A and B are shown apart, each in its own frame.
Chain A
Amino acid sequence: SQTIHQWPATLVQPVGSPLSLECTVEGTSNPNLYWYRQAAGRGLQLLFYSVGIGQISSEVPQNLSASRPQDRQFILSSKKLLLSDSGFYLCAGQRDSQETQYFGPGTRLLVL
């Protein structure tokens, strides 16, 4: 099975600062990769997904961007954080579009 690694576990950043969250996958090659966000008291929202290196699709317009520089590496970034970017960010990997997604432990981001 797959293992999804995310870091850092928690992050406190000032408004206007940059962001880089990293996700790496073990146990499979060429996975589909996903970034989700869960805002306080709300459900999960899909932010980005990637079916291969350099291929990124965005589900919602926002202040964030994603990149996939390597097969098993997915990075979530921002040039200038907003207060509304606070939340819990989950990375997921999937071997095939019809199979289960495996989720990482998440990163809790607080923008002050």
Chain B
Amino acid sequence: KQEVTQIPAALSVPEGENLVLNCSFTDSAIYNLQWFRQDPGKGLTSLLLIQSSQREQTSGRLNASLDKSSGRSTLYIAASQPGDSATYLCAVERDSNYQLIWGAGTKLIIKP
């Protein structure tokens, strides 16, 4: 059974720092992995999608990596800004029926 874990559950850092959010999954048979952002009281914003054949994806200050063999993905945020404050969710799409398995999220606070 696929399980997705995100560590840490919460993170608070000063503005300007580079940071890494972690996501781990137990079954390497995945179709893709996605990182989402959720702002308080709002829905999800899709940030990056990494296909199972890819190693990383980049968008602006965000870089997501995928290591299927170790069951890990990281989301790297460079030069963090207060506007980056949100909950970041990792979700794995299973190879068999394409459903998403969600991590519990990391709540990120960037202090001005």
Contacts and interface: CB of A to CB of B under 8 A. Distances in A.
Interface stretch (B12-20, B74-82, B99-107): B99-107
Chain B interface size, as a band, is 10 to 19
Nearest to B100: A106
A42 B40 CA distance: 22
A62 interface: no
B98 A101 contact: no
Interface in A71-93: 88, 90, 92
Interface in B89-112: 91, 97-102, 105
A90 B43 CA distance: 11
B28 interface: no
B87 interface: yes
B60 interface: no
B45 interface: yes
B43 A105 contact: no
A88 B101 CA distance: 14
A4 to B, nearest CB: 9
Interface residues of A, number: 21
A105 B41 CA distance: 20
A100 B44 contact: no
B41 A9 contact: no
Contact of B41 (A10, A99, A103, A106): A99
A38 B98 contact: no
A8 B111 CA distance: 43
B57 interface: no
A100 B98 CA distance: 24
B100 A103 contact: yes
21 contacts: A9-B98, A9-B99, A10-B97, A36-B43, A38-B46, A43-B46, A44-B43, A44-B46, A90-B100, A92-B44, A98-B40, A99-B41, A100-B87, A101-B38, A103-B91, A103-B100, A105-B101, A106-B98, A108-B97, A108-B98, A108-B99
